[in-house]
Amino acid sequence: MPIELWASFVRYARRYRGLSQLALALAADASQQTSSKVEAGSICPHDRLKVRLAEALDVRTADLFPWPSQLVWAAAGEVAWPVLPGGRSPEGPHV
């Protein structure tokens, strides 16, 4: 899965929840530098960190780090935002 999608999901979910990168990092027992790198797509979080990030953002791990079904949407030119209520990004609904 392209790491850029994970990075986008984490960033938008964090912003939607009103958290700073530091607040997310502290809630996920990680450093602010790690949180920043995950959102920038410069590192791929290990499985334990994926779980902790999802818990800190109050979402299912599978929604924050989706598998192929969301990749099909992204390849079709659409973006899937399963982590936010109503399946929408902060900018508005995506159909």
Tens-digit pLDDT profile for residues 20-62 = 999 999 999 999 999 999 999 898 888 889 889 999 999 888 8
- Can you give the pLDDT at residue 1? 56
Crossing angle of helices 68-75 and 3-16, in 10° steps, is 100
The pTM score is 0.68
* Residue 46 near residue 59 (C-beta atoms within 8 A): no
* Residue 94 near residue 81 (C-beta atoms within 8 A): yes
- CATH assignment of 3-87, among 3.40.718.10, 1.10.260.40, 1.10.10.60, 1.10.3720.10: 1.10.260.40
Within the chain, residue ranges assigned H as helices are: 3-16, 21-27, 32-40, 47-56, 61-64, 68-75
Task: Calculate the average pLDDT of the chain.
Answer: 76
- Nearest alpha carbon to residue 57 among 5, 94, 21, 95: 21
Q: What is the DSSP letter of 84?
A: S
* Residue 55 near residue 9 (C-beta atoms within 8 A): no
- Can you give the pLDDT at residue 95? 35
- Can you give the pLDDT at residue 36? 95
The ranges assigned to domains in the chain are 3-87
